[in-house]
Amino acid sequence: MFKHIAILLVSWLTLCAASEVRASDEFLQIYTELYVPNSYRENDTGPVVGYVTDLVREVMATAGIDYEIEMVPWIRAVQALESTENVMVYSMARTPEREDKYHWIGKTLPLEFYLYGMKERLMDLPKTLETAIDSRIGVVREDVVGLYLESKQFTGLVYVRRPSLYLNMLERNRIDLFPFTPLEIGLFARINGYNENDLIGIIKLDELSTDQYMVVGKNTDQAVQQRLMSAYQQVVDSGKYEELLKPLYLQYETIRVDILE
């Protein structure tokens, strides 16, 4: 009997200790959108993977903070970031309008946007931003490009839930143009089953040249924020940042999409 009581007491103490550890551990809910090749799943039930995702996981491991990455529509990620404690989102373009809304943990990639279209339709497509104001341009709601074009009073915006829908809609002639980055567009096309040589970058969005970041909301615990920023810097200083993203730059060199001169 005493033996059983001792076993129960040890088990109870173990559970209490585990509960205290779980209660004291920080947890970060991380959201991203489907954005090949930086955040995607290789199958429906697999983990979120990708070049920038690998960087985020490295930062989290260095920070020693427990986390979960969930892939959701961009607008849902932004809403969670602004309304819920201890939420991180990647990757967000750093713009003057967003500067004071979030804590900017660390840069993921440089950002440069073009509007892309089909090469075979090039003669019929606008060649300047001013002449594209009525064109059917695919955008993700609350994404930096959509917000920018809305501010410019563009009238032909076609809202999609995620960037992976752009190519199908372009092929079906549902949109004329869509925004993407030169660094990622070639691999994005291939992974989604399209030939990158069918596409061409036509209009550069000069005002949106900036950087993408990992961000946390203003209501995130300050100690967590500081740990993340410190961990990010350690990853950069160790050379791991460059190591993780180097394959993306190498693929950019070999899978290029033409840009209209």
Strand-strand pairing, 27-32 and 87-93: parallel
**Residue 15 — very low, low, confident or very high, per pLDDT cuts 50/70/90?**
very low
Q: Which residue type does 232 have?
A: Y
CATH number for region 2-109+212-254: 3.40.190.10
**Count of Cβ atoms closer than 10 Å to residue 131 Cβ:** 11
Q: What percent of the chain has pLDDT over 90?
A: 83
Residue 5, pLDDT above cutoff 90 = no
pLDDT digits (tens, 9 = 90+) for 223-242: 999 999 999 999 999 999 99
- pTM confidence score: 0.79
Question: How far is it, in rounded angstroms, from Cα 71 to Cα 36?
Answer: 12
| Interatomic CA distance for residues 97 and 48, integer angstroms | 29
From CA 50, how far away is CA 163, in angstroms rounded? 15
Alpha carbons 100 and 26: distance in angstroms, whole number: 24
Structurally, what CATH architecture does the domain formed by 114-208 represent?
Answer: 3-Layer(aba) Sandwich (3.40)
194 CB burial (10 A radius; 0-12, 13-18, 19+): middle
Cis peptide bond upstream of 96, omega within 30: no
Let me know: does 85 contact 103? Beta carbons within 8 Å.
no
3-class secondary-structure state, position 85: coil
Return the closest-CA partner of residue 211 out of 53, 92, 121.
Answer: 92
Residue with tokens 């104001």: 133
Q: Are 203 and 114 within 8 A, CB to CB? A: yes
Amino acid symbol at 210: T
Let me know: does 231 contact 62? Beta carbons within 8 Å.
yes
In the prediction, which pLDDT does 191 show?
87
What is the per-residue pLDDT across 206-221, written as a single tens digit (0 to 9) for each?
999 899 999 999 999 9
pLDDT tens sequence across 104-135: 999 999 999 999 999 999 999 999 999 999 99
Task: Please state, for a pLDDT cut of 70, what percent of the chain lies above it.
Answer: 90
Q: How confident is the model at residue 25 (pLDDT cuts 50, 70, 90)?
A: low
Q: What is the pLDDT of residues 140-195, one digit of tens each?
A: 988 999 999 999 999 999 999 999 899 999 999 999 999 999 999 999 999 899 99
| Annotated domain spans of the chain | 2-109+212-254, 114-208
Q: Do domains 2-109+212-254 and 114-208 have the same CATH topology?
A: yes
Q: Is the pLDDT of residue 2 over 60?
A: no
